[in-house]
Amino acid sequence: MVDLRNPDEREPELAPRPAGIATVRAPQDPIGTPFYEQWTKIDNLASPLYYPAMLVEHPEPVVTAVRAIANAAPGCVVFHCASGKDRTGLLALVLLTLAGAAPDEIIADYLLTYDRLKQQYDELGVRDQLTAVTEHLAARNTTIEASLTSTIASLTMPDFLLGNGLSDTELAALHARLTI
């Protein structure tokens, strides 16, 4: 399991995990950086708008999470953040791009999150997030689809991962895991 949350978001685990399940902590938010301060004001790191800047300015957290997946013991690997949309969405986009998924498949995968989280947000009395993010991006003259498409188009694989420290051996292991 790869936990993408920041240390202050984690709660103590009350139930023991079954033997053989390890957790790797790979926080994605570059807290304390000018990037984090800027994007917290722009979109609270809660839309795909920040993805391209994150990949350029702070690729290390993303590559750390990718490395954890590549180096995981055989079997399933789960990765998550607090809601499974933003940090998880960026990591999924990177992995799906590497795996050769088409942009429309990656976008559809990202949009599924809104459907799956709707009931939870409704129960919490939180505004519909798809509407909120759509309006936020529209105010910046873009859409979720356009933002994701732009990020996917700019992401050259596997050069992005190799150029940011992933080894050839880790890339091979990742390819094997993603194409099984």
User: What are the chain's domains?
Assistant: 2-178 (3.90.190.10)
Walk along the chain (180 residues) and give the pLDDT tens digit of each residue: 999 999 999 888 788 888 888 899 999 999 999 999 999 999 999 999 999 999 999 999 999 999 999 999 998 999 999 888 999 999 999 999 999 999 999 999 999 999 999 998 899 998 999 999 999 999 999 999 999 999 999 999 999 999 999 999 999 999 999 987
H-helix or E-strand spanning residue 80 = strand 79-80
Contact 35, 57 (CB under 8 A): yes
